[in-house]
Amino acid sequence: MWSVLLVFAATYILIGARRLSILPIGRPAGALAGACGMVLLSVVDPGAGLTPEAAFAAVEPNTIGLLLGMMLLSASLDMAGVFERAAAWVARRRLSPVRLLYLVTLASGLASAVLLNDSVCVMLAPLVDRTTRRAGLDRVPYLLALAMGANAGSALTLAGNPQNMLVGHLSGISYRTYLLEAGPAALIGLAVTAAMLHLLLRRRIAARAPSLDLTPEPASDPAQGPAQGAAAPPGSSRPSAAVPGSSRPSAAVPGSSRPSAAVPLACIAVVSVLFVLGANLAWTAIGGATAAILLHRRDATGLFDRVSWTVLVFFGALFIVVAGLQKTGMPEQALRAASPYLPAGPAMGILGLSIAMLVGCQIVSNVPFILLAESYIRSQPDPHLAWIATALISTLAGNFTLLGSVANIIVVETVGAEREIGFRSYAKVGVPVTLASCAASLLWLLLVR
């Protein structure tokens, strides 16, 4: 049992520390090492760890399939130039800085409710950066709006982010039920996020160059990358292989024309309707992505190159690591020992769970912490409400610190804003935004329950 705990602890150190100077392998590789460790234990000590068969059985295919399908659908939108066209439309409207801030926050949030928040950030970060630079605006408020809006808005649905997909699987809550019960609270959280960003960043967004040029950049073929002449910040880089859609962001068939935007939009609309009607989430998303590929009738290599396979590896390995720990019964024993000290009652229990989520998600990230806290969530007086609150708070908690969500890292690294948005500067905005949005969402959830 202690050998399993050692492997588990080592894995979570690799995951939680993100980068260790002595072993800078990253989170996906850390989780994969932990999974291999659990299987190796079963060879050394047949009573410990997981057998190869049990390890494969521990991987949850519905979550992996849903992630893959949504990544492919998001990538198909990007290759069709949907986000480029949207950015050009916004540029032509010559919006005020305040209106642009609200538009970026709310649009990224609503887009993330339909697509994955990480994918939305990968595709929109360069466009937001380019638009604000050409407008003579400080780009930092708008990059924060993109990241925090995408995080908050992704709480609207079970398909908005990886942790909500996991909650949907573990809880058995349907897409429609979650949308009806958590949707209003998530919308309130998104609205509060936008208002708090305006309040906290009002001085920065008021500072702008006297001469504005909001003329849209020449439209570029997404298959060819950014438009020629697009300004690139010093030290900027395209998304690395650690973020969704980044292994070859400009991959496409040379000389090919831009795919039709109507195809992926229609497929996403059909997929969303089927989600609400209760269809299997994973196969519906995969089926929608497959339909988009077939209807485009072109080589799909560029589309698959935009899938973040490292995220899928991370999830699959993490399922194995947590299953190895759960086999020992230690999480249940720890819960029984801590139960006398935990808040009692439906409302206080949800409050205690929310605080635990807010803190735990900063230490080991949201998905690992949800897997670890599954027994605690199921032990609540109202498990259904507890799962709803878990999805909401674990998502909104991503705005607390720069490392709280992969989407935050994606935005900062994609446009090379590491010097402008550091851990402290992000926290000055992220902490009050998160506390306010979590409080508002929880209050609504408890009042209408």
DSSP string, 417-437: -TTTS-HHHHHHHHHHHHHHH
Region 186-204: what's the mean pLDDT?
A: 95
pLDDT given at position 428: 94
Q: Check whether 131 has a pLDDT greater than 90.
A: no
What end-to-end distance do the CA atoms of the chain give, in Å?
Answer: 41
Contact 290, 25 (CB under 8 A): no
87: β partners:
none
Backbone angles phi, psi at 72, to 5 degrees: -65, -40
H-type helices in 17-153, by residue range? 27-44, 52-58, 61-79, 82-92, 97-114, 117-134, 139-153
Q: Within 13 Å, how many C-alpha atoms sit on residue 239's CB side?
A: 30
Region 419-426: what's the mean pLDDT?
A: 88
Contact 190, 149 (CB under 8 A): yes
- Strand, helix or coil for residue 449: coil
Region 325-352: what's the mean pLDDT?
A: 78
- The pLDDT tens digits of the residues spanning 279-338 come to 888 899 999 999 999 998 888 888 898 887 887 888 889 889 888 888 887 777 776 777
137: β partners:
208
187-to-144, 160, 343, 438, 442 alpha-carbon distances in Å: 18, 13, 27, 11, 12
**Rg for the chain (alpha carbons), in Å?**
22
Q: Report the predicted TM-score, pTM, of the whole model to 2 decimal places.
A: 0.75
One-letter amino acid for residue 367 of the chain:
V
